[in-house]
Amino acid sequence: MAIYQYRCAEHGLLEVARPIGTAADSEPCPDCATPAPRVFTAPRLALGSARNRALIDRTARTADQPAVVSAPPSRRAVPQAHDPALARLPRP
């Protein structure tokens, strides 16, 4: 997924996420629906290691493609803290 920028003459820059290589020459402005021409910018390649880039891509994907679950997680799946100080706290 890549972020492409377009510039509306009236409303300024807008960003659209599309798969790489599928950017259109213009996108309709979300405010006025006027075709906004594409703005070419330097690619953001220096984002650290491949692991960091994968994390950033996964995080960005959750905005428009969130994981769908059929049920809430079970209580056993929730990780418990193993701090011994927590055992000494008063219980309700």
Report if residue 11 touches Zn ion, rule: CB under 5 A. Answer: yes
Our CB check for Zn ion shows the closer of 4 and 8 to be 8
CA-based end-to-end distance of the chain: 48
Q: Which residues contact 5 (CB under 8 A, 6 or more apart)?
A: 13, 14, 15, 16, 38, 39, 41
Report if residue 18 touches Zn ion, rule: CB under 5 A. Answer: no
Report if residue 27 touches Zn ion, rule: CB under 5 A. Answer: no
Q: Which parts of 33-92 interact with Zn ion (CB under 5 A)?
A: none
- Residues lying near Zn ion in the complex (CB under 5 A): 8, 10-11, 29, 31-32
